Structure 1
Amino acid sequence: MLRRRWLAAALAAVMLAVLAAGCGGGGNKDTVKVRIGEVTRSLFYAPQYVAIAKDMFKKEGLEVELTTTAGGDKTMTALLSGGIDVALVGSETSIYVYQQGSDDPIINFAQLTQTDGTFLVSREEIGDFDWNSLKGKVFLGQRKGGMPQMAGEFTLKKYGIDPQKDLTLIQNVEFANIPAAFASGTGEYVQLFEPQASIMEKEGKGHVIASFGTESGKLPYTVFMAKESYIDKNKDTVQKFTNAVFAAQKWVQDHSAEEIADVVLPFFPDAERDIVVKVIDRYKQQGSYATDPIVDEAEWNNLQDVMESAGELKTRAEHGKLVNNTFAEKVLK
């Protein structure tokens, strides 16, 4: 009898220990893994790195695996093939997939950046810059069909400049090689992302004279997106993901460029802190970081205007077809 009672007590103690292990500590059993593919590693995406570094995803019960997929086409291929669960890429890529008649459309659910992230850099220092001074010059632009190039052309047309006729437009240089091409003497002007623009300034090889982000207006420039089938099957995960994104957005809004830089620097081991601070401050000042995850309909339409102007839009996509704001709206409540 005593032996049976001892065994029962021992079994009860073991069960309590198992239950405690399941409910306490890291809660690994309940953690959901989400594979993110980012189109490039960029300070433009600072809120994403803040969310990772400050355990905002982890607090939502998510374990994120971040991969740099290097290019919009590769990012979308990885998403469509199931190599990643969520893509951080320009919304235009979801529209390109839509134009091809996909049975499982790509849905934008949480916006991260709301302007173009490139700057106009001149080889020579210019005092009072006038966009018309680009006429007749050699302009080293971004890849044709990509959002940076389309935003660049949209801006030029806004100032009455025909990109194909009024200047010599170079757009066949690979994205990663554009800064080196300009530094080696190609072009009189170049369209660059940060931190390359600020590095050019620091090295005395170029001068930032205008912002394409400011000129082209607000756009759903970089957005977290997933296949409709993934969202339908993982609504709770997508909601938790969006919660973490919004927490990071609020943190970025409330903290200085210096504080943000110190959090994201581990993601940029070769970067100089003063450059990182300068870049983040520049993006904050021009409102590039979205303040909430909502993909606004007016911005969505502006994006399609930019694509249409560049001749890259076959069919306009209704906001409701490729955007799901329910997760963003819930976190705002």
Structure 2
Amino acid sequence: MKKTIKPVLLLLVALLLTMTAACGKSSKSDELTTVKFSEVIRSIFYAPHYVAMSQGFFKEQGLNVDMNTAQGSDKGAAALIAGTADISMVGPETTIYIYNQKGDKTLKVFHQLTAKDGSFLLSREKIDNFKWSDLAGKTVIGWRPGSSPQMVLNSQLTKEQVAGVNVITNIASPAMAGAFTSGQGDFIQVFEPVASTLVKEGKAYYVASLGEDFGPYPETSYVATSDFIKSHPDIVKKFSAAVSEGAKWLNTASDDQIVSALRPYFEGTSDDLILQSVNRYKAQGTWPTDPELTQAQFDVLQNVLVENGVLKAEDKIGKMEDVVDMSFVQQLGKSK
């Protein structure tokens, strides 16, 4: 009888241990806090964010990021106001627009992801020794009015004193490449990996980087409502920490590691184009080592908005702190 009972008891003990271990894993997973996140578009321009997801940096901070693509900063900002997103990756200008509307809610930038414009100018015909004056009398497929890439292009043309350029701004971003390959426009302004894909397919020629030619510009930020930041400072701090880890990782990872990390977010894009896109953005200093939006960068932003007629000079934000909260990235700096 004893010989029969002992194996049964051992089996029960093993089963209980297995169930306990399983419950432990389940409870750990349940501890993750879900953050509703909206990205402006899908682009390798935002590689540090995808790295933070694929490498588990968000999970290490106890966060589960539920991501969707808004297809526009205006839509990403609207999602914050409506409460369908907790955090959005958008142009920082959206915080100024919302603030000046004097509504019930305001938005604040809490992390600066990119320090340059991320678009590239491609031409239908091969051009040796491209000059911005080559755009005079030509048609460019560009971005919607008031968006960062549209304003940066316009300001670049103003700086270069180029007139007579027809910039098409009413084509939805997912349809821009298709419109160009079907014969519309002489030039197109696109982000990676679309730019490298069009070039590789022989459908366009690379001529210029808006990021390099225009210079420093705070194009993409992480933004949340003032209420969310006040109510959930722990989530904002952890989110910022995870993205910072993603940016650091990109600077030390091997080519194979980078491709492996980004491949799930760019299905249909070849490994060589993923890597080429990352290296192109790295070369122009896209991702700052310090993700703090400075007063100087904020001044550049507001000057561009005024120059493009989307902000009156008298409506400039006098105190950056009204739409910016850099306390979380400053805490990251102190913890290094």
Normalising by structure 2, what TM-score? 0.88
Change (3 A) 1:179 1:76: same
Partners of 2:23 and 2:226 lie apart in 1 by: 32
Matched, 1:326 2:327: yes
Residue 76 of structure 1: SS of its match in structure 2? helix
The answer on 1:316 being equivalent to 2:327 is: no
Unaligned runs of 5+ in 2: 1-18
Matching of residue 214 in structure 1 with residue 212 in structure 2:
yes
| Structure 1 residue 23: Cα displacement | 8.1
- Output the CA distance in 2 between the equivalents of 1:264 and 1:186: 31
Give a deviation string over 1:194-252, Cα, whole Å, max 9, x none: 21211111111111111111122222211111000011011111111111111111111
The question of 1:264 aligning with 2:265 is answered no
The yes-or-no answer on 1:196 pairing with 2:194 is: yes
Q: Say if 2:244 and 2:291, in contact at 8 Å, map to a contact too.
A: yes
Compare 114-123 and 257-266 and name the one that shifted more. 257-266
Question: Per-residue CA shift, 1:91-146, capped at 9, x if unaligned?
Answer: 11111111211332101001111111111111111111111121122222221111
3-state SS, counterpart of residue 312 of structure 1: coil
Q: How far does the alpha carbon of each residue in 1:25-70 deviate from its partner, in whole angstroms, 9 at most, with x for none?
A: 8634532221111111111111001101111111111121111122
Paired residues for 1:1-333 under 5 Å: 27-162=28-163, 166-314=164-312, 315-317=315-317, 318-333=319-334
Quote the Cα distance in structure 2 between the aligned partners of 1:22 and 1:111.
Answer: 39
Code of the aligned partner of 2:282:
K
Q: Distance in 1 between matches of 2:309 and 2:221?
A: 22
Taking the aligned partners of 2:198 and 2:21, their CA distance within structure 1 comes to 56
Q: Report if aligned partners of 1:249, 1:292 keep a CA contact under 8 Å in 2.
A: no
Closer/same/farther in 2, CA of residues 274 and 20 from structure 1, 3 Å limit: closer
Distance 1:331 1:142, change over 3 A: same
Instruction: Assess, with a 3 A threshold, how the Cα gap between structure 1 residues 70 and 133 changes in structure 2: closer, same or farther.
Output: closer
SS at match of 1:27: helix
Q: Which amino acid aligns with 1:252?
A: L
Aligned length, in residue pairs = 314
Supply the AA of the counterpart residue of 1:142. Answer: W
Which residue of 2 is the match for residue 13 of structure 1? none
What secondary structure, in the 3-state scheme, does the structure 1 residue paired with 2:236 have?
helix
Instruction: Report the Cα offset of residue 256 of structure 1.
Output: 4.5
Higher mean C-alpha deviation, range 123-132 or range 289-298: 289-298
Equivalent residue of 1:77, what SS?
helix
- 5+ residue gaps, structure 1, are 1-17
2-side partners of 1:232 and 1:202: how far apart? 47
Contact 1:257–1:281 at 8 Å: present in 2 too? no
CA deviation map 1:302-323 (0-9, x unaligned): 1111111111113212321111
3-state SS in 2 of match to 1:102: coil
Contact 1:261 1:280 in 2 (8 A): no
Shift of 1:169: 2.5
- How far has the Cα of 1:90 moved from its partner? 0.9
Aligned-pair Cα RMSD in Å: 2.1
Q: How big is the shift at 1:324? A: 0.5
- Give TM-score scaled by structure 1 length: 0.89
Identity %: 37
Check 1:107–1:126 CA distance in 2 against 1; reply closer, same or farther (3 A cut): same
Counterparts of 2:259 and 2:96 in 1: how far apart (Å)? Answer: 33
For residues 139-174 of structure 1, what are the alpha-carbon distances to aligned partners after superposition, in whole Å with 9 as ceiling and x for unaligned? 222211111100100111110113xxx222322222
In 2, are the aligned partners of 1:41 and 1:68 still within 8 Å (CA)? Answer: yes
The one-letter amino acid of 2:197's match is I
Closer, same or farther in 2 for the Cα pair 1:186/1:27, shift >3 Å? same
Q: 1:22 to 1:320 in 2, by over 3 A?
A: farther
